[in-house]
Structure 1
Amino acid sequence: MASEAIAGGASNWVLGTFAIYLLVLIGIGVWSSRFMDTVGDYVIGGRRVGPVVTGFSERASEMSGWLTLGVPADAYGGGIMAFLNGLGMIPADLFAWSAIAKRLRKYSEIVKAVTLPTFFETRLQDDTGLVKGVSAAVLIVFEGGYVGAQIVAAGTLLRVLTGMEMWLGVVIGGVIVVGYTFLGGYFAVAWSDYFQGAIILIAFIILPIIAFTTYGSPFEMLAQMEGGASLTSITGGMSGWAALFGIISYAAIGLGVPGNPHIMVRFMGIDRVKNVRKAALVAQLFMFVAYIGAALVGIYALIQLGAGLENPDNAMPLLTLELLPGVVAGVVLAAALAAMMSSGDSQLLVATSAVVEDVYHGYVNPDASQEKLVLYSRIVTLIIGGASIAFAMLAKDTPIYTLVLDYAWGGLGASLGPLLIATLWWKGLTKWGAVASMLSGGITMIVWPQWPAIIGQGTIDAMGPFMNGLFTVYGLAPAFVISAVALIVVSLLTTPPDQGDVEEHFDVMHKPLSAVIDEEGRGKAGTPDFITDGGMPEPKAVTEMDNVRGHVAASDYWNEE
């Protein structure tokens, strides 16, 4: 069996490729820094990012170390059941592009919202700051944890390549992610995601093909291995309630899509609403190929390396070093690092915007200049990045697959997913329903994995097969349901925003932008008051609290559909 920390000739080639790759990324960051005149440029790229870049960026920002190391590790340990990782993700992402993207893109621009907390506050006409404050806190906590997970993944990869201690790999990986986001903001993130996304896609096409030419079809070989019956079973050898809840767990992963802001800001940042369809096609093709490729990589790693890796997260890089010559292996493993950077910088940027735009600009200094906001965004990036590195040090021994799903993806999905959908589709939503949804979803996601420790595994076993299986289900499934129920019940029991204003908002949401605002960003005649203040160059804020936000400068790309 291959060593789990490889140094020597192959590693030198890999590190050489890695160094060249970093230089390219630094060049992108330096180039991107020219476009950051406002906090809107830093946070969503001034809505100037095209459909192909957006599509690649949307997928690369989510797939992360979870896809490149975590999914292969899942396949290495469980066999073909890992193909179910796409069971919920593919339809959920399709729903997000088809049902959410256009509405969120148009509405967020019309009301000049560059972050989700500001969007929530504006949509719910909340002048107390409660919705913005709670949603910003959710973003800071869970996105910070997400960044930490990517840093752990980067540290894992660097340890395999060089044999360095895990703590050192975590520090170096953290410096790369934080420094890059600090330098370039959203433009650097989006364009590097495009570049990195292309590498990821190629890597997960090439590696399984090479493995296939070496070993042939993996399924017969899996069947001959110890535990082959479960490795070749789509339910992992489980039956009854355990099999059902296992499938539900994989499907529930997709529930996190609408609640993860680093995906949603891709919809807010695309240049034209009409380009959403093209970006969606790019993202869906990317996802389909990448999920299949990642699972095949894990299965072939099990065949090549045998069972018993101390850390299954090492399966993908070890298989790459086994099958490919040094230079090619360097490119493929650079793709793995690219995925971690893609997610880490995206998530760090979202957490930064929650502090600077939603907290500082919203509460502390409403009159702050755009130059000061961009400066503070960079400072906060360093602070949150440092905290994420500290979290990564504490969590460095946790499997990446679990670290992402339980401590980041699930928390965001349960806290913000039902809320985002409701803001775009339900006129009866209230601010209290929004707060109840965020708190109940986040708390449930945190508590659910702890139930065996809280009430004892023996007690759960005594409850029978159904309850035993239920408590093993991925926590996002119950957390999302509880969050949605809390949102509906509390909203029905509390007073919604003025329905006349809500009707105007929804009416505008269904119109093309060209029917609402002109090329100068001014509201056209007959549009509601929240869009125009009588023809003045600056759009009027939706509520008094909106006046504390930095408005994104009008773009020349507002003539849509």
Structure 2
Amino acid sequence: MVSDGIAGGAGIWVLVTFGVYLLVLLGIGLYSARLMDTLDDYVIGGRSVGPVVTGFSERASEMSGWLTLGVPGDAFGTGVMAFYNGLGMIPADLLAWAGLAKRLRKYTEIVKAVTLPTFFETRLQDDSGYVKGVSALVLMLFEGGYVGAQIVAAGTLLEVLTGVSSLVGIIVGGIIVVGYTVLGGYFAVAWSDYFQGAIILIAFIALPLLAFATYGLPFAELESVGSSYASVTAGTTGWAAVFGLISYAAIGLGIPGNPHVMVRFMGIDEVENIRLAALVAQLFMFVAYLGAAFVGLYALIAFGQGGIEDPNNVMPRLTLELFPGAIAGIVLAAALAAMMSSADSQLLVATSAVVEDVYHGYVNPDARQETLVRYSQYVTLGLGAASIAFAYVAQNTPIYTLVLDYAWGGLGAAIGPTLIAALWWRRVTATGAVASMIVGTTTMILWTQLSTILEWVGLMGAIEGSPFLVGLVDVYGLFPAFVLSTATLVVVSLLTKPPEGVGDHFESFDKPLSAFTTGEEPTGTPDYVTDGGRDVEPKAVTEIDTVRAHVTASDYWVSDEE
């Protein structure tokens, strides 16, 4: 076992480093608990988190064990084609910062929405509750699975490093994530992401550089390992190569549909800081994706094609091969950091869907803030326990597949088209949004099992005679699911009556926040604003309403200018 290789001095250093790392996380959680007064604080940090922390947090919350363990494993299995993991992600994230962040940040503050389901309900003027209910259900389903995937990754890493059983690793990793998320909510998540993101960035710079010093550039050696590893299409040709490239590019379609990424746009302190946060996030992303792919390639050189049985172990194996024990502990903490920085964010989004969108929206509209925060902590514990159970059941599924097929893709197909349309298309309707979410969710779930379904109905034999159909069946499910979800949204919206007064909503997208929050005669809350679907008395919306008293003592003060 790999764990036998780190017994002794190296193993002790790894465990000591992990211990210190986890104590830091606990300290962040305890400190953040002092800053949490309301549900807004728990879910989006009172919109008071600065651009550098937001940029790191936005990337760390997405990258997860999929980046640190999954992408190196993909490179170990496919070769240089793994660099295409950034083919869709990097431009999609840049477009999200450029086209979605500012609009979502301004509008959600004006209407006092702290979750995407509440944003959808207000923007689409849905009185039926279907938009909020369906979107909340989708979030609970896929975000819960996402958390489980991260806990599987954490359990895998702890098993490799310490030799404990996978069950112990899953339980320990789950308890750590749930613990500091319960304590500090969004503040703990954002600041721990900042801390963890820094470790991830350093690790994926240092590990490829040390491997380069040891082995040189890996490309010349890949041909001797296997000819397909040096091919930009992994040795495939024709339709198989085309659909392979489409699959990698389609990964980026998940960006706008994943709320744990979008909530970073909602929680940044000032609209004008979005550009700086975007720059931080893009630099982080480019370095991390490049480094992760190189780790997999260097593992091929170091261990050979069959040298590592489980592709999830590629990154920790190469780390232990190249670094002394103390440094290995720090680098491997980065892998755990990525998993936790995603799991905590996803757990928080799932919690907000239950407490804000279901309990506060339907069950108890007049609940006190203290009650909502307390219930959020209870729900976080409950969902965390359920995710740990899911992780145990799914522990033998490759992390790369578990994340992309059962979490990232489902959220991207179900939520993404509606979010984009709500911010940019005046004609979108609540009925169209609900239909789109149902079609996107259903398509993504069925597509992951498409080969099995075709074999069951006896059609696989006929399909195998067509290279085009074989490639289409093997394409990443988010591509067809996103296309069908978008088509459904457009068609159903055009066939149903649009909401009235959409122009007023779009004015809030285009005007600076100061038009709504400052001046001798503030415009106050727009007429279309409701509190969870309930009419409220119009009143001036000021920055002080959303930035709590404790923020005035920090460096993150929200200005009145765009």
TM-score, normalised to structure 1's length? 0.94
For 1:420 and 1:5, how far apart are their aligned partners in 2? 48
The offset of 1:6, in angstroms, is: 4.1
C-alpha offsets along residues 427-477 of structure 1, whole Å, 9 cap, x if unaligned? 111111000010000110000021111111733544410000100000000
For 1:4 and 1:507, how far apart are their aligned partners in 2? 63
Taking a change above 3 Å as real, the CA distance of residues 524 and 541 of structure 1, as seen in their structure-2 partners, is farther
Match of 2:387 in 1: 388
Match of 1:554 in 2: 546
Taking a change above 3 Å as real, the CA distance of residues 46 and 339 of structure 1, as seen in their structure-2 partners, is same
Partner amino acid, structure 2, of 1:425: W
Taking a change above 3 Å as real, the CA distance of residues 209 and 372 of structure 1, as seen in their structure-2 partners, is same
The offset of 1:125, in angstroms, is: 0.6
Partner amino acid, structure 2, of 1:431: A
For 1:113 and 1:523, how far apart are their aligned partners in 2? 23
1:46 and 2:55 aligned: no
- In structure 2, which of residues 264, 277, 280 is the aligned counterpart of residue 279 of structure 1? 277
Partner amino acid, structure 1, of 2:394: A
- In structure 2, which of residues 202, 221, 237 is the aligned counterpart of residue 239 of structure 1? 237
Taking a change above 3 Å as real, the CA distance of residues 386 and 527 of structure 1, as seen in their structure-2 partners, is closer
For 1:558 and 1:242, how far apart are their aligned partners in 2? 52
For 2:173 and 2:517, how far apart are their aligned partners in 1? 44
Residue segments in structure 1 that go unaligned for 5+ positions in a row: 532-539
For 1:56 and 1:441, how far apart are their aligned partners in 2? 29
| Aligned residues of 2:450 and 2:473 also touching (Cα < 8 A) | yes
Q: Tell me which moved more, 161-170 or 397-406.
A: 161-170
| Aligned residues of 1:518 and 1:558 also touching (Cα < 8 A) | no
Match of 1:486 in 2: 488
1:373 and 2:368 aligned: no
Q: Give 3-state SS (helix, strand or coil) of 1:287's partner.
A: helix
Match of 1:15 in 2: 15
Taking a change above 3 Å as real, the CA distance of residues 395 and 542 of structure 1, as seen in their structure-2 partners, is closer
Match of 2:164 in 1: 164
- In structure 2, which of residues 534, 550, 553 is the aligned counterpart of residue 544 of structure 1? 534
Instruction: State how 1:65-104 maps to structure 2 within 5 Å.
Output: 65-104=65-104
For 2:491 and 2:404, how far apart are their aligned partners in 1? 27
Taking a change above 3 Å as real, the CA distance of residues 42 and 218 of structure 1, as seen in their structure-2 partners, is same
Taking a change above 3 Å as real, the CA distance of residues 367 and 460 of structure 1, as seen in their structure-2 partners, is farther
For 1:495 and 1:342, how far apart are their aligned partners in 2? 41
1:333 and 2:338 aligned: no
Match of 1:403 in 2: 402
Partner amino acid, structure 1, of 2:377: R
Q: Give 3-state SS (helix, strand or coil) of 1:249's partner.
A: helix
For 1:356 and 1:77, how far apart are their aligned partners in 2? 42
Instruction: State how 1:211-222 maps to structure 2 within 5 Å.
Output: 211-222=211-222
| Aligned residues of 1:218 and 1:300 also touching (Cα < 8 A) | yes
For 2:498 and 2:536, how far apart are their aligned partners in 1? 19
| Aligned residues of 2:515 and 2:523 also touching (Cα < 8 A) | no
Instruction: State how 1:5-154 maps to structure 2 within 5 Å.
Output: 6-154=6-154
Q: Give 3-state SS (helix, strand or coil) of 1:133's partner.
A: helix
| Aligned residues of 2:2 and 2:160 also touching (Cα < 8 A) | no
C-alpha offsets along residues 83-131 of structure 1, whole Å, 9 cap, x if unaligned? 0000000000000000000000000000000000000000011111110
For 1:154 and 1:14, how far apart are their aligned partners in 2? 15
Q: Give 3-state SS (helix, strand or coil) of 1:471's partner.
A: helix
| Aligned residues of 2:77 and 2:311 also touching (Cα < 8 A) | yes
| Aligned residues of 2:47 and 2:546 also touching (Cα < 8 A) | no
The offset of 1:559, in angstroms, is: 0.8
| Aligned residues of 2:517 and 2:524 also touching (Cα < 8 A) | no
- In structure 1, which of residues 292, 303, 306 is the aligned counterpart of residue 304 of structure 2? 306
| Aligned residues of 2:2 and 2:161 also touching (Cα < 8 A) | no
The offset of 1:305, in angstroms, is: 1.8
Instruction: State how 1:346-365 maps to structure 2 within 5 Å.
Output: 346-365=345-364
| Aligned residues of 1:79 and 1:230 also touching (Cα < 8 A) | yes
Partner amino acid, structure 2, of 1:554: T
Taking a change above 3 Å as real, the CA distance of residues 523 and 271 of structure 1, as seen in their structure-2 partners, is farther
C-alpha offsets along residues 398-422 of structure 1, whole Å, 9 cap, x if unaligned? 0000000000000000000000000
Partner amino acid, structure 1, of 2:319: T
For 1:398 and 1:202, how far apart are their aligned partners in 2? 28
| Aligned residues of 2:66 and 2:403 also touching (Cα < 8 A) | yes
| Aligned residues of 1:460 and 1:467 also touching (Cα < 8 A) | no
For 1:55 and 1:478, how far apart are their aligned partners in 2? 30
The offset of 1:209, in angstroms, is: 0.3
For 2:559 and 2:521, how far apart are their aligned partners in 1? 12
The offset of 1:542, in angstroms, is: 8.5
Partner amino acid, structure 1, of 2:558: Y
| Aligned residues of 1:6 and 1:163 also touching (Cα < 8 A) | no
Partner amino acid, structure 2, of 1:495: K
For 1:430 and 1:182, how far apart are their aligned partners in 2? 36
Partner amino acid, structure 2, of 1:125: Q
Q: Give 3-state SS (helix, strand or coil) of 1:367's partner.
A: coil
For 1:463 and 1:361, how far apart are their aligned partners in 2? 54
| Aligned residues of 2:208 and 2:294 also touching (Cα < 8 A) | yes
For 2:521 and 2:181, how far apart are their aligned partners in 1? 34
C-alpha offsets along residues 454-511 of structure 1, whole Å, 9 cap, x if unaligned? 111733544410000100000000000000000000011111111xx21011012100
For 1:454 and 1:81, how far apart are their aligned partners in 2? 29
The offset of 1:558, in angstroms, is: 4.7
Partner amino acid, structure 2, of 1:412: L
For 2:535 and 2:262, how far apart are their aligned partners in 1? 23
- Aligned residues: CA RMSD: 1.8
| Aligned residues of 1:516 and 1:523 also touching (Cα < 8 A) | no
1:320 and 2:319 aligned: yes
Match of 2:445 in 1: 446
| Aligned residues of 1:106 and 1:513 also touching (Cα < 8 A) | yes
For 2:64 and 2:536, how far apart are their aligned partners in 1? 34
What's the % identity of the aligned pairs? 69
The offset of 1:310, in angstroms, is: 2.0
The offset of 1:554, in angstroms, is: 2.9
Residue segments in structure 2 that go unaligned for 5+ positions in a row: 548-556
Q: Give 3-state SS (helix, strand or coil) of 2:474's partner.
A: coil
For 1:293 and 1:6, how far apart are their aligned partners in 2? 24
For 1:2 and 1:542, how far apart are their aligned partners in 2? 52
Q: Give 3-state SS (helix, strand or coil) of 1:516's partner.
A: helix
Q: Give 3-state SS (helix, strand or coil) of 1:49's partner.
A: coil
| Aligned residues of 1:125 and 1:542 also touching (Cα < 8 A) | no
Q: Give 3-state SS (helix, strand or coil) of 1:553's partner.
A: helix
Instruction: State how 1:245-264 maps to structure 2 within 5 Å.
Output: 245-264=243-262
The offset of 1:165, in angstroms, is: 1.0
The offset of 1:9, in angstroms, is: 2.1
For 2:109 and 2:262, how far apart are their aligned partners in 1? 13
Match of 2:550 in 1: none
The offset of 1:291, in angstroms, is: 0.3
For 2:2 and 2:220, how far apart are their aligned partners in 1? 22
Match of 1:201 in 2: 201
The offset of 1:515, in angstroms, is: 1.3
For 1:517 and 1:523, how far apart are their aligned partners in 2? 10
Partner amino acid, structure 1, of 2:207: L
